[in-house]
Structure 1
């Protein structure tokens, strides 16, 4: 039985000599086993020992366990900390940074060994020097920047928190990466990836995902509904072939950084304003004709929309899709939305839920479904961002934004307000 953790062995006689320990743990592997050394006394050769292996001492320091433990200190075992006080020698073995579950199992086995349980019933190993790789601190970062360095036969270290695999000509995401549950940053830039597996959403700690310069055409709806909603803070999808992001993309509520440069975007998710934590947005050199109405709700520090094909706005030539009188469906939908009545697929048909999810917001603050007046107006981008990259080579910082009006009255009142300015 083995346990990886940090260990400090404190001699209890040190204070009597006016000395004190280092107070700092060392990365180690603890083994519970049976010595095979013929040099040991016969009384000890078959008994259980606690062995502490470190990088400097791979053979390990050995401590007999049978009737040799004075006390266990396990108050902070849930935090991966514990102390085993030995009688002979008079030392305290202080453990920290251990997996709490593994630590509990290890201490249970140590307790049984102390109580003198039969050796055959204990999970003992035949003690031998460990390899350097077993004692080293778990690897948290790996950077691969060429195909020849990409591991084909070896698994990625389970402890990785940052993995970069760029310029490796990957056509798909390696499923071995999706088993790295501690991963916080995944950089797969400069590859040939065409599609993202839904299981990326199983990386519950993933904060940064870099996928620039690949062959992506979509960003899956499933990913937007996964655990990435609560973890993902930075997403780089630049230099791909994405034409549109799904409506569900706005569920990635923790996003702070979003890069979409050099794609084929023809529109933003029309509820992009729901990304309340977004601070840095870059979508230069796309095919955006206008911005959605909810764009006005963003509060950005940096915005770059240079090189898009923005249309010339014309408020006086609206797209009128009003039906008078309103249909029963339109009237009901407006009531549900304006009075914030809860709805779900177990209450009303699923297709009606989808319609309600894609409702439009009028400039008056009310909602409309499929009966509205649509027009574009000019908005200075400094209204939503502190720093704005020029939209074109003419020095402009204005862009067309799509507006909706739930009635002719709202549209007329908005025209009057604009004319007064």
Structure 2
């Protein structure tokens, strides 16, 4: 009797699981269908292991926003190139080890979130001429950051924190519109002097790395820099004070604070 009862319970559980999966699948298809008129596809937390084919057909070409975060996606198909109208794409909190080359063909993309994955490489991104915000923290893009940033003339915010990066790519210094750059919790031992060419940079966070100094030319070109975070680095403080342009930076920071701007302890960069 006991065994028969146990089998019956297991059968009911299996049947209930199947019904739940059917409901979930139906819900996903309904959301895809609705997105063709709302131009917004939100499949967050939908237990996806792959993208449904219905989300990739020609009728989704006019999507503006696609949210696929908090699923179990291991790959994105090249068929996402169908989404030629998409402006915001979030694939954060999945199991992705790479992004498809088709990402680079989404020419209207303005925001790309792919943080909290397992990315070890990046496709060429030079075609994303309208991309403004790129969030890639908490991946595995080190030890050498992929050199894929050429031609990204609109990019203003990049987060590459927590990626085990030891060396930055040359093309990152070519992103002249960059306003905010987050590189905290990596393994950087030095910054390239070419970062000093980021003339629009306002915020730089390189805390919790292995930096002992900043390049002498860094402050010469970053004349808009107002926030610099260095906490958690073995930096020689006396050498920092003697870095050309550092005192001018502290003056700008203090003026920014008086004018209601962000307060940075300088204790100034979290070092004192």
TM-score scaled to structure 2, two decimals?
A: 0.64
Match of 1:201 among 126, 144, 147: 126
2:172 paired residue among 233, 243, 249: 249
Instruction: Output the CA distance in 1 between the equivalents of 2:167 and 2:180.
Output: 18
Alignment of 1:259-298 (within 5 A): 259-297=182-220, 298=222
Unaligned regions of 5+ residues in structure 2, if any? Answer: 1-32, 40-61, 257-261
Cα displacement string for residues 48-83 of structure 1 (whole angstroms, at most 9, x for unaligned residues): xxxxxxxxxxxxxxxxxxxxxxxxxxxxxxxxxxxx
- In 2: Cα distance, 1:193 partner to 1:388 partner: 34
Query: Are residues 1:305 and 2:230 paired?
Result: yes
**Of residues 165, 174, 180 in structure 1, which corresponds to 2:91?**
165
**Alignment-derived partner of residue 98 in structure 1:** none
Is 1:185 the equivalent of 2:50?
Answer: no
Unaligned runs of 5+ in 1: 1-130, 315-374, 400-421
1:144-170 CA distance string (max 9 Å, x none): 222347886774633210001011110
Cα deviation for residue 274 of structure 1 reads 1.2
Superposition deviation, residue 384 in structure 1 = 5.5
> Does the C-alpha gap of structure 1 residues 204 and 313 become closer, same or farther in structure 2, counting only changes over 3 Å?
same
CA contact (8 A) 1:167 1:189 kept: yes
State which of 101, 120, 124 in structure 2 corresponds to 1:175: 101
CA distance in 1 between partners of 2:237 and 2:35 (Å): 63
Write the distance in 2 (CA, Å) between the matches of 1:285 and 1:244.
15
Residue equivalent to 1:20 = none
1:377-421 Cα deviation digits (max 9, x unpaired):
364551464456446xxx46597xxxxxxxxxxxxxxxxxxxxxx
C-alpha contact 1:279 1:300 (8 A) present in aligned 2: yes
* Structure 2 residue aligned with 1:28: none
Q: Distance in 1 between matches of 2:157 and 2:88?
A: 14
Q: Is 2:242 aligned against 1:377? A: yes
User: Distance between the aligned counterparts of 2:137 and 2:219, measured in 1?
Assistant: 27
User: What TM-score do you get using the length of structure 1 for normalisation?
Assistant: 0.43
Equivalenced residue count is: 202
Q: Kindly tell me: are residues 308 and 179 of structure 1, through their superposed partners in 2, closer, same or farther at Cα, counting changes over 3 Å? A: same
| Residue from 223, 227, 234 that aligns with 2:151 | 227
Distance 1:396 1:181 in 2: 40
Instruction: Compare CA radii of gyration and give the structure with the larger one.
Output: 1
- State the shift of 1:204 in Å: 2.0
Cα distance 1:182–1:384, how it changes in 2: closer, same or farther (>3 A)?
same
Q: Identify if the C-alpha distance between structure 1 residues 135 and 150 changes in structure 2 by more than 3 Å, giving closer, same or farther.
A: farther
Structure (1 or 2) with the greater helix fraction: 2
Counterpart of 1:146?
70
State the partner residue of 1:322: none
| Cα drift, residue 139 of structure 1 | 2.4
